[in-house]
Homo-oligomer: A and B are copies of this chain.
Amino acid sequence: MKTYFLLPIIFLLLCNFASAQFAGMMRGQKQEPLPEGYKPASTNTFLARYPAVNSETRQAMFRVVAPTAEKVQLDLCNKKYDMTKDDEGVWTCISDPQVVGFHYYAILIDSVAVMDRNTEAFFGSNWESSGIEIPEGPEGDYYRFNKNIPHGHVRSVYYWSELNGLERHINVYVPPGYEQNNDQKYPVLYLVHGWGEDENGWSNQGKMANIMDVLIAKGEAVSMIVVMPSGDIKTNPDVREAKGNVTEIFANDLIPYIDQTFRTKTDRQNRAMAGLSRGGFQTCMTVFNNMDKFAWMGTFSGFFVRGNDVVNAFDGIFNDAPAFNKKMNLLFISTGTEERNPKEQVDALKAHGIDNIVFHESEGTAHEWLTWRRALKQFAPLVFK
């Protein structure tokens, strides 16, 4: 097979591949041994060796090629680390031990916050961010890809929203067997991201497909469709106009589209909604204003009743506790122990007679993805049963 030119060499010379970029990449990834105990992070792009993580100490080592920069820092979980430069202009540092799971980070090149181009990009804080996955021990069994069980598919779908006046992107998880069982209809969970993230957060940062696959394979959760919309209703007004508000779009536009397009069970007993952080609030707004459409709900790190005043909270939805109990099979509220805790609100709701609450605390985690992976693992087995 010698009858072809070495195409990659040619391509480097062409428009779309700047040689400086390529040189930078190669220098950043030179093949000297990684430090003892370190392996490339699973969030790295496929050839990248740094950042590298130590699964024992849960530290991460970062490396940036920036020979001409004056100062380079790592910004990880609200701490800035000064990086040190070697003779070739490669900057490195090792982080403190981190909580397992996913964390955003940035590199500061002469104080300008940029991404590390050797890790996958994740949308967070309303712009493209770098992320690193700190390896788990046995903890990760529920969110790792498991080759021995069947897998659902995440579908990337664009649909036209009349209320929004735009095409909207959603991700839809269909469970294993959906393809084969053509007569089966499924319950639907609507699952919303938080502030500054987007409809890809649950599948990329949250590993929701792996979590659902495992729960379904073990028989802990029923087979369900999971719809992940964007919680943002606006597009840039300079590009094109957007209309509607997100709760109306969810209730009156997205649900009908899903029920027309997928094999769904369409009664309220077979429809749930949950969200994290701001998505938890959007869940409350959507469900409480559409109690005829939902019978199960969850808010992960996102349920706040000011002053524990449950009587007046959310336009008085909890006023008539027996009526609420009768309608809502589950009000799941969760939090990390290292973030603002809604326990007093939960106690106030219970004291007021709201019976169907499940409260979950994620030990040792903050406002971060491990909290929400754990929340989904706790929540999904409770619905549609």
Instruction: Give the contacts of A110-137 with B (CB-CB under 8 A).
Output: 110-115, 117-121, 123-129
In the complex, the answer to whether A167 meets B145 with C-beta atoms within 8 Å is yes
In the complex, the answer to whether B77 meets A238 with C-beta atoms within 8 Å is no
Distance A232 CA – B45 CA, assembled complex (angstroms) = 12
A49 CB–B CB distance under 8 Å: yes
For A40, the chain B residues whose CB sits under 8 A away are: 236, 238-239
Q: Provided the pairs A16-B103, A156-B156, A156-B203 are in contact, do residues A45 and B127 lie with their beta carbons within 8 angstroms?
A: yes
Q: Provided the pairs A7-B304, A66-B112, A75-B18 are in contact, do residues A239 and B156 lie with their beta carbons within 8 angstroms?
A: no
- Number of A residues near B (Cβ < 8 Å) is 112
Distance A133 CA – B113 CA, assembled complex (angstroms) = 24
For A367, the chain B residues whose CB sits under 8 A away are: 11, 14-16
**Closest CB of chain B to A53's CB: distance in Å?**
10
Distance A44 CA – B18 CA, assembled complex (angstroms) = 21
Q: Provided the pairs A15-B367, A121-B121 are in contact, do residues A45 and B126 lie with their beta carbons within 8 angstroms?
A: yes
For A263, the chain B residues whose CB sits under 8 A away are: 179
Q: Mark A128-154, 1 if CB is under 8 A from B, else 0.
A: 110000000000000001010001011
Instruction: Give the contacts of A1-50 with B (CB-CB under 8 A).
Output: 1-5, 7-8, 10-11, 14-18, 20-22, 24-25, 34, 39-40, 42, 44-49
Residues of A within 8 A of B (CB): 1-5, 7-8, 10-11, 14-18, 20-22, 24-25, 34, 39-40, 42, 44-49, 52, 64-70, 75, 77-78, 103-104, 106, 108-115, 117-121, 123-129, 145, 147, 151, 153-160, 167, 171-172, 179, 182, 194-196, 198, 203, 209, 232, 234-236, 238-239, 261-263, 277-278, 281, 285, 302, 304-306, 309, 312-315, 339-340, 366-368
